[in-house]
Each structure stands twice: as C-alpha cells, then as structure tokens.
Amino acid sequence: MEAELVLPPTKRRGMWPLTVRPSGGALVMVPLFVILLLVDVLLQPDILTKPQIALTIQTAFPLILVSIAQCIVLLTGGIDISVGGTMVVANVLTATWVGADSGSAWRLVLVLLVGLILGAFNGALVVIGNFEPFIATLGTWAIYDGVALQILPSAGGATPPALSAWAQNVTNFIPTSILLLVLTLAVWWYWRSTNLCRHIYSIGSDEARARLSGVNIGKTKFSVYAIAGLLAALAGIYLALITSTGDATLGDGYILSSVEACVLGGISLEGGSGGAGLAVAGAFILTFIDGITSVLVLPPWVSIVLSAGLLIFVIGIRSRFAKPT
C-alpha cells in the first residue's frame, strides 16, 4: 500500500502558495509593493489607465514567467541559473525558425518542447548525475547561451505578425497581457492542489520526511526542472512576440532578476515556502523600480543598486523574523 503523504507539521508554511504568507519577508513585500506603486503613480498619474496597466504587465510578464519558473525550483531547495539560457534559445528560435511566416506559427509548440527538453536535461544532471543544482545549471546556462548565439549572432529576425499584434495589443476590452496574467495565476491556482505541487512543497520543507512519506524525490525534482524550462521558453517566446525580434543576449539579465523577484516577494531560498503570487509581486516590484528610475531619467546603475539594496534589506528582515526549527 502506498504510504500517505504527511507534511512536516513545523513547516506547513508552504501551504500558502498563492497568497502572502505571514512571515517577515512577505510582510515586508506588501508595504514595499504599495510604496513603489504609489511613487510610480505619483510620477506617472496615467499609469492607472487600462492601456498603461496592460503595458506595465506586458513589460513585466517575461520576468513574471521566469520568476515563476525559478520559484518552483526554489521551493524544492534548488536553483536554476539556466533559465536565462533556455529563455534566449526559445527567443531566437521564435525569431528565426518560426519567423514572420504565419503558416509556421505551429512551430511555437516545438519551441516549447525544446524548452521542456532543456529543462529536463537540467533535471537529469541534478537527479541522475547528482550534480549540485547551482553547478549543473550554471554549466547548462553557458551551453544554452552559446547555442542561442550560434543560432542568432546579432539581434534580428522576425515573428508572425498576427501573433505579435495580438501579444502587443493593450487596447482590447481585455488587453492581452492582463488576460495572460489572469490565466497564469488561474493555472497556478489549479495546479497548487495537485499531488506534484504538494510533493514539491514537502521536499522543500523536509526532504527526508517526504521520502519516508512515499514521495518520489527524483521524479519530482526532474519534473520541476522540466517545467521550469517550459516556463522559461514561454517567456522567451512572449518576449520575441512583443518586440517582434530575437536577441541572444537578453536572457542573462533575467537570471539574477528572477531570484531577486522571488526573494523580494518573500519566497524562501531554503525551500518549502512561497508561491507564484509572491513571485509575481516580486517581479512587479522590480518593474516599478525600473519605471521610477526611467521616469526620473536616472542612470541604469541606479536601478541595479536600488534593487540590490532592497534585496539585502529584505533578506535582513527575513533573518530577523526567522525562528529556529
């Protein structure tokens, strides 16, 4: 008889996957999110109009997808440095192999499959090869970046015009970016009740107890990296559609940002705590920072320093609120 899964009683915090868990990190995220939003609104009053809201979400959505990919890996106590590499492979394939021919749009399914395979390769290195996640994905990040540069050495290419117009549209009754964000959160809301998601949280909370409870650790971790690859590829496709081009150099900036978004949102780097809603909030925090510095015409390094400073601040608060287990 299959053993019943029993989550560790001292770490049921992971059962708050979409909402804000009442911890030090999450409690800092809420006022931080509100303050940055208010500052952005004061500097750009029209940001609350529907087209501007849609445009903000459109700008943030690639980071949102990559952050959710990073989130589910972090929930197991791992990390995926290769999300940026997977993202740009999908991005340049969309801009070249799929191209501007609307009849080739079906190939986007195969591009997603490529992302799934690249993520699965990461999972195989971690589970079968017993590599440390950081080392394994650091290596594959370099490989995937190299592949992307080989496919498209310099920015260019094109995307199916109809799909790009759909992705870029911010004036519909329900703008595309808003629709995609709602759909993404709805999928997570459903997925969080699945056995796979429960197993992910249980591994991050206490891997030894999860194993004793009958969780297939290897299969779950392998699935997590494969799904992360799929989400990163989806981010690359979306980025290509909204820019109507491909660029093999864009992915690197999303790697650290995805980790920052998760940490700023209140997701634990130790695993077992957090969820997609927190990753989305963290991605918006970084987007607000970029928007504020852009409106004030500040140098790009100001945004980087401010994001890093907030990251250190949030980690400090989390450490202050952390309780010994």
Q: What is the pLDDT of residues 57-70, one digit of tens each?
A: 999 999 999 999 99
Identify the CA nearest to 88 among candidates 141, 29, 35: 141
When divided into structural domains, the chain yields a total of 1
Give the C-alpha distances (Å, rounded to integers) separating 144 from 45, 114, 312. 41, 11, 30
Give the integer Cα–Cα distance in Å for 140 and 124.
12
Helix (H, G, I), strand (E, B) or coil at 191: helix
Residue 1 lies in a domain: no
Average pLDDT estimate for 154-168: 93
Neighbours of 318 (CB within 10 A): 19
- 8 Å CB contact between 5 and 214: yes
Q: Encode pLDDT of 9-22 as tens digits.
A: 334 333 334 433 44
Helix (H, G, I), strand (E, B) or coil at 200: helix
Write out the DSSP string of 65-109: HHHHHHHHHHTTT---TTHHHHHHHHHHHIIIIITT-GGGTTHHH
Neighbours of 150 (CB within 10 A): 10
For residue 8, pLDDT over 60 is answered with no
Average pLDDT estimate for 4-9: 40
88-119 b/e (C-beta count within 10 Å ≥ 16 → b): bbbbbbbbbbbbeeeeeeebbeebbebbbebb
Residue 2 lies in a domain: no
Average pLDDT estimate for 319-324: 60
Q: Which residue range(s) make up the domain with 28?
A: 9-320
For residue 321, pLDDT over 80 is answered with no
Residue 106 lies in a domain: yes
For residue 3, pLDDT over 70 is answered with no
Give the gyration radius of the chain's Cα atoms.
Answer: 19
Measure the CA dihedral 170/55/109/276, to 10°: -130
Give the integer Cα–Cα distance in Å for 283 and 285.
5
Average pLDDT estimate for 103-118: 94
Average pLDDT estimate for 207-217: 91
Q: Encode pLDDT of 274-298 as tens digits.
A: 888 889 999 999 999 888 888 888 8
Residue 3 lies in a domain: no
- 8 Å CB contact between 45 and 52: no
The proportion of the chain whose per-residue pLDDT surpasses 90, expressed as a percent, equals 60
Residue 69 lies in a domain: yes
Sorted by sequence, the CB contacts under 8 Å of residue 104 that are 6+ apart come out as 97, 98, 160
Domain of residue 174, CATH code: 1.10.3470
Confidence of residue 323 (pLDDT cuts 50, 70, 90): low
The CA-CA-CA angle for residues 84, 252, 68, to 5°, reads 40
Residue 173 lies in a domain: yes
pLDDT for res 197: 92
Residue 119 lies in a domain: yes
Q: Encode pLDDT of 32-53 as tens digits.
A: 888 888 998 898 888 889 999 9
Helix (H, G, I), strand (E, B) or coil at 246: strand
Average pLDDT estimate for 102-108: 88
